[in-house]
Structure 1
Amino acid sequence: MPPTLSTETATSETRRRAARIATEVLAPWVWVLGLPLAVAWQVTGHRLGEALMWGLIVGITGSLIPMAVIVRGAKQGKWDSHHVTNRAGRLIPFAACIGSLALGFVVLIVGSAPHEMIALAAAELACLLVALAVTFGFKFKISMHAIVAAGATVMLMRVYGPWLALLFLGVAWVCWSRVELKDHSVAEVSVGTLVGLIVGGGAFITLASALG
């Protein structure tokens, strides 16, 4: 028997609920806050104080400060939501992210942070600059969810081992969620994933090896 209207509606709502969960739980700010703490924990030899210090420098300047600007702007109606799904509204959020993280990057260098942390901040900056160029230079709303999730997965694999390739399941889930919610197209999440892998992950691996 063909599915009834109520069954189709329930299935559609279940899909959207799963998509909303992925979009929030695997949002860029969540990755950018947790990733540096995870990397710092490993590269400092599990020394809690040092791990928190270096991890929070990147997490606060790369995630919390920009997110505070974005949420405030969303409440003031400057863009549609804290995910800033309208392409034209992304300039100020990009500027906030780049400016704040650049400050954290300088602090890491001046403070002689572990080279992996410097490489991490540099890779994140590179991703932001590429995303900015693509978004406004090519007028293509590249997915930051995809960039950050894919890049973070490669970074964690480099630091903890290849078994963390399992996180690509999360990358696939969040990419699906952005398309399911109609915030991005398949092309936008696909290009975002490639940028995350090549620019984010590639820059991190290259710089961490060169600086080490």
Structure 2
Amino acid sequence: MPTQSTETTGSRQRLARIATEVLAPWVWVLGLPLVVAWKVTGYHFGETVLWGLIVGVTGSLIPMAVIVRGAKKGKWDSHHVTDRAGRLVPFAVCIGSLGAGFGILIAGGAPHEMIALAAAELVCLVAALAITFGFKFKISMHAMVAAGAGVMLIRVYGPWLAVLFVAVGWVCWSRVELGDHTRAEVTAGTTAGVFLGGGTYLALTMILT
């Protein structure tokens, strides 16, 4: 018969796995551009779908398809690529695909907020690549993307969305609870997300306005 301690541990693990999947980077990167585009296009459905999906597809769906396919073939440990050494190709795919989307936004005359969003995501990816392999430090992409998205949404919709940082805290806890990251790695990811992701977005929206 399971002990209370075993049941508690099992519940914590389930809660952590839910956070890790529901608040995964690809989920944020797919949903965030659509939510931002909805506001910055003046709630125009067609433009929201157009600009939001350019970022979402190139920044999330295409890279995730490659990563999942690679994981199934055994190229890396899972679709979260928890092994630091295995992250080079996924990072390269993410940067290349999103870079193409960034070019499409510029060529198509997208709203400056969408260009700033894609640029901020690229900055985070390049920084994460440099930190992961230059410093051999597995910075948490879950934390980085969630924190950056939180800052961007506060900028677009207002300070009341600071409540999203409850979700940021939840996903950071989940990564440590599952043993995929250390506290230092999720702290570094959160800090980078706020200052690199959110900071780049804030700066570029002011410059491009």
Aligned to 1:190: 187
Task: Render the CA deviation track for 1:133-156: whole Å, top value 9, x for unaligned.
Answer: 000000000000000000000000
User: Is there any run of 5+ residues in structure 1 with no aligned partner, and where?
Assistant: none
| Residue 101 (1) aligns with residue 98 (2) | yes
What is the alpha-carbon distance in structure 1 between the residues aligned to residue 39 and residue 182 of structure 2? 36
Task: Render the CA deviation track for 1:115-139: whole Å, top value 9, x for unaligned.
Answer: 0000000000000000000000000
What is the alpha-carbon distance in structure 1 between the residues aligned to residue 110 and residue 123 of structure 2? 19
1:8 to 5, 27, 32: 5
- Supply the AA of the counterpart residue of 2:124: C
What is the alpha-carbon distance in structure 1 between the residues aligned to residue 134 and residue 83 of structure 2? 15
Aligned to 2:38: 41
2:208 to 194, 198, 211: 211
What is the alpha-carbon distance in structure 2 between the residues aligned to residue 128 and residue 75 of structure 1? 23
Aligned to 1:124: 121
Aligned to 1:163: 160
- Supply the AA of the counterpart residue of 1:150: A
Offset at 1:105?
A: 0.1
What is the alpha-carbon distance in structure 1 between the residues aligned to residue 172 and residue 134 of structure 2? 23
- Supply the AA of the counterpart residue of 1:97: C
What is the alpha-carbon distance in structure 1 between the residues aligned to residue 161 and residue 74 of structure 2? 39
SS of structure 2 residue aligned to 1:140? coil
| 1:84-95 correspondence runs (5 A) | 84-95=81-92
What is the alpha-carbon distance in structure 2 between the residues aligned to residue 165 and residue 70 of structure 1? 31
Offset at 1:5?
A: 6.3
Task: Render the CA deviation track for 1:83-139: whole Å, top value 9, x for unaligned.
Answer: 000000000000000000000000000000000000000000000000000000000
What is the alpha-carbon distance in structure 2 between the residues aligned to residue 74 and residue 105 of structure 1? 27
What is the alpha-carbon distance in structure 1 between the residues aligned to residue 2 and residue 107 of structure 2? 62
Q: Structure 1 residue runs of 4+, over 3 Å off? A: none
SS of structure 1 residue aligned to 2:3? helix
Offset at 1:46?
A: 0.2
SS of structure 2 residue aligned to 1:39? helix
| 1:49-60 correspondence runs (5 A) | 49-60=46-57
SS of structure 2 residue aligned to 1:117? helix
User: Is there any run of 5+ residues in structure 2 with no aligned partner, and where?
Assistant: none
What is the alpha-carbon distance in structure 2 between the residues aligned to residue 174 and residue 89 of structure 1? 22
Query: What is the identity percentage for the equivalent residue pairs of Structure 1 and Structure 2?
Result: 72
RMSD: 0.8
The normalised TM-score by structure 1 is: 0.98
